[in-house]
Chains A and B, each alone.
Chain A
Amino acid sequence: MPETLVFYVLSGLAILASALVIGQRNPMYSVMLLIASFGALAGLYIQLDAPFVAVAQIIIYAGAIMVLFLFVVMLLNAPQEDAADWDRTHPLRQPGIARFGALLGLLLVVQLGWALMRASELDVPVAGRVDAETIGSVRQVGRVLFTDYMFAFEATSILILVAMVGAVVLARRETDQ
């Protein structure tokens, strides 16, 4: 019973914080609320017996990506989202872009549905499986990642390389002028 209670508290927190991220006018508050949402998500991962995913969530999302967001907010110096800008002329209000956004959202729903259909062992809780002890352990993650998913792992390095070059190219254009 307490497990269920913890689950509802954490998921409630995550949903509330995420909703407030969009509702906030101050981008600084949005960043902080997003961190809170990530924290609640990490708690949910721990409940799922996936401590490594939880900690990686905090280290990468809450610790690194949000620092980047924070710097961008400070860099753009936008203390308040201006309500006057949010009219028909705002780029996100263009009909083409809005339609594209709706399409992306729909695609996500289809993807999620497809993934949930494919997952075969969903009806068996993790704790009840034979390999429950090792399924979430970091050692097991390492063993699987560096054998079965070797190609994906190496491809990540190319992705990181491209991102590095992209960041430098985008930022340098501004400083050279």
Chain B
Amino acid sequence: MDSIDLRLLVQLGVIGLTFFMLINASALLVLAERKFMGFMQQRYGPYLVGPHGVLQPLADILKLLFKEELRPKGADKWLFTLAPILSVTAAFAAFATVPWGAETTLFGLLDEPIKLGVADVNVGVLVVFAITSMGVYGIVLAGWSSNSKYSLMGGLRASAQMISYELSYATALAAVIMLAGSLSLREVVDAQQGTWLGFLSRWYLFVQPVGFIIYIIAGVAETNRAPFDFPEAEQELVAGYNTEYSSVRFALFPQAEYINMVTMSGVATSLYLGGWHGLLPFYTPLDPLIEANGLGWLVFLAKVGGILFTYIWVRWTVPRYRYDQLMQFGWKWLFPASVINLIVTAALMLYVLNA
């Protein structure tokens, strides 16, 4: 009886920790984005609050807490508040099925190993997909309920963009699912353990390079980030769907965006970069050491961090596209490419299996 209670407690602790780390991740990413942007533009970025400005996000959220909540005349009272709640909830929940570490007994504390991650569901990939698609409503509702022309345009654009790119990334993911033969993210990660030919890490990146590129591009569009940040293109739409928002209700939208970035990177790491297996693309003597000591979650974090840095890097390097270019690129290039990638992968896989 005692060990069951302890197990449940540890499980709840893991969920709580994941939640807490997601909140921290969104704060850290705001700081990281501003710092990297500063360095790329040859200035310091935030510098005043705390050493080198590391406490800036804390100051920001405290300031926003003490700001006035404004709701424009003619806005829908309930939907206006529901929209940010929906956005942020979908962002948190989408991370629920992403595993972030191998099974561990916590240095012998537990009799049976526990899985590091909120929930291990046998249709994990589809759950991420389903919950992400719920995030669209937060943005559409924000745009519609504000009763402002900029908000409405931003919300419409965002939803059309998100649904268009959802097709591409879902098709790209299907190819990996086919190779692994499982929809559980944990099983897909464990299928990538070991090496090919003795030196190349067994990442699906090497068999699905096109799929990986499609996924990353669609991921940028899904999270509404530059160069695809049309829902909030400031030259055209002021701030897009969150034009009329102020105070904490405003802050929740960027927070949802940053958490979605973390989820996107987490899924990319699990499906293409081997999750917690294999620190580098090739075999290093460190790999068995990491596996033996249960430090896989550090590897996972490092890879997620790398992808997140790429997101930020791209944002401050590439100029914004035009909206019509974005929609045409998604429908006429990315989607057909992902379908062809899937069919070619299927044919190759069957050929290799039957040979």
Asked whether any CB of A lies within 8 Å of a CB of B in the complex, the reply is: yes
Interface of A toward B, CB cutoff 8 Å: 28-29, 32, 35, 51-52, 55-56, 58-59, 62-64, 66-67, 70-71, 74, 137-139
Chain B residues whose C-beta falls within 8 Å of the C-beta of A139 in the assembled complex: 181
How many angstroms from the CA of A52 to the CA of B121 in the assembled complex? 11
Chain A residues whose C-beta falls within 8 Å of the C-beta of B137 in the assembled complex: 32, 35, 66, 70
Chain A residues whose C-beta falls within 8 Å of the C-beta of B123 in the assembled complex: 51-52, 55, 138
Complex contact A59–B129 (CB within 8 A): yes
User: Who on chain B is nearest to A52 by CB?
Assistant: B123
How many angstroms from the CA of A64 to the CA of B137 in the assembled complex? 11
User: Who on chain A is nearest to B74 by CB?
Assistant: A79
Chain B nearest Cβ from A40, distance in angstroms = 14
Chain B residues whose C-beta falls within 8 Å of the C-beta of A70 in the assembled complex: 137, 140, 159
A-contact bits for B185-208, CB 8 A (1 contact / 0 none): 000000000000000000000000
Chain B nearest Cβ from A57, distance in angstroms = 9
Complex contact A59–B79 (CB within 8 A): no
Chain B nearest Cβ from A111, distance in angstroms = 29
Complex contact B126–A55 (CB within 8 A): yes
How many angstroms from the CA of A66 to the CA of B122 in the assembled complex? 26
Chain B residues whose C-beta falls within 8 Å of the C-beta of A71 in the assembled complex: 159
- Pick from A28, A52, A62, A64: contact of B79, CB below 8 A: A28
A58-B133 CB under 8 A given contacts A64-B163, A74-B144, A137-B122: yes
Complex contact B156–A74 (CB within 8 A): yes
Chain B residues whose C-beta falls within 8 Å of the C-beta of A51 in the assembled complex: 121-123
Question: Is B136 interfacial (CB-CB < 8 Å)?
Answer: yes
Q: Which of B123-182 contact A (CB under 8 A)?
A: 123, 126-127, 129-131, 133-134, 136-137, 140-141, 144-145, 152, 156, 159, 163, 181
How many angstroms from the CA of A74 to the CA of B145 in the assembled complex? 11
Complex contact A28–B121 (CB within 8 A): no
Chain A nearest Cβ from B132, distance in angstroms = 9
Our count of residue pairs bridging A and B at CB distance below 8 angstroms stands at 57
Chain B residues whose C-beta falls within 8 Å of the C-beta of A64 in the assembled complex: 133, 163
How many angstroms from the CA of A71 to the CA of B159 in the assembled complex? 10
Complex contact A58–B130 (CB within 8 A): yes
Minimum-distance CB pairs A-B, first 5: A63-B133, A58-B130, A55-B126, A51-B123, A59-B130
How many angstroms from the CA of A74 to the CA of B146 in the assembled complex? 13
Question: Is B76 interfacial (CB-CB < 8 Å)?
Answer: yes
A55-B127 CB under 8 A given contacts A28-B144, A32-B82, A74-B144: yes
How many angstroms from the CA of A162 to the CA of B343 in the assembled complex? 24
A sample of 26 cross-chain residue pairs with beta-carbon separation below 8 angstroms, ordered by A number, consists of A28-B79, A29-B78, A32-B82, A32-B137, A35-B134, A35-B137, A51-B122, A51-B123, A52-B123, A52-B126, A55-B123, A55-B126, A55-B127, A55-B129, A58-B133, A59-B126, A59-B130, A62-B133, A63-B133, A64-B163, A67-B136, A67-B159, A70-B137, A71-B159, A74-B144, A138-B183
User: Who on chain A is nearest to B162 by CB?
Assistant: A67
Chain B residues whose C-beta falls within 8 Å of the C-beta of A28 in the assembled complex: 76, 79, 144-145
Complex contact B126–A62 (CB within 8 A): no
How many angstroms from the CA of A164 to the CA of B131 in the assembled complex? 26
Chain B nearest Cβ from A120, distance in angstroms = 27
Chain B residues whose C-beta falls within 8 Å of the C-beta of A59 in the assembled complex: 126, 129-130, 133
A67-B129 CB under 8 A given contacts A58-B134, A74-B156, A137-B122: no
How many angstroms from the CA of A21 to the CA of B12 in the assembled complex? 36
Chain A residues whose C-beta falls within 8 Å of the C-beta of B140 in the assembled complex: 67, 70
User: Who on chain B is nearest to A31 by CB?
Assistant: B137
How many angstroms from the CA of A39 to the CA of B75 in the assembled complex? 26
How many angstroms from the CA of A41 to the CA of B349 in the assembled complex? 37
Q: A70-B140, A70-B159 are in contact. List 19 more A-B contacts (CB 8 A).
A: A28-B76, A29-B79, A32-B137, A35-B137, A51-B123, A52-B126, A55-B129, A58-B130, A59-B129, A59-B133, A62-B134, A63-B130, A63-B136, A64-B133, A66-B137, A67-B136, A67-B140, A67-B163, A74-B152
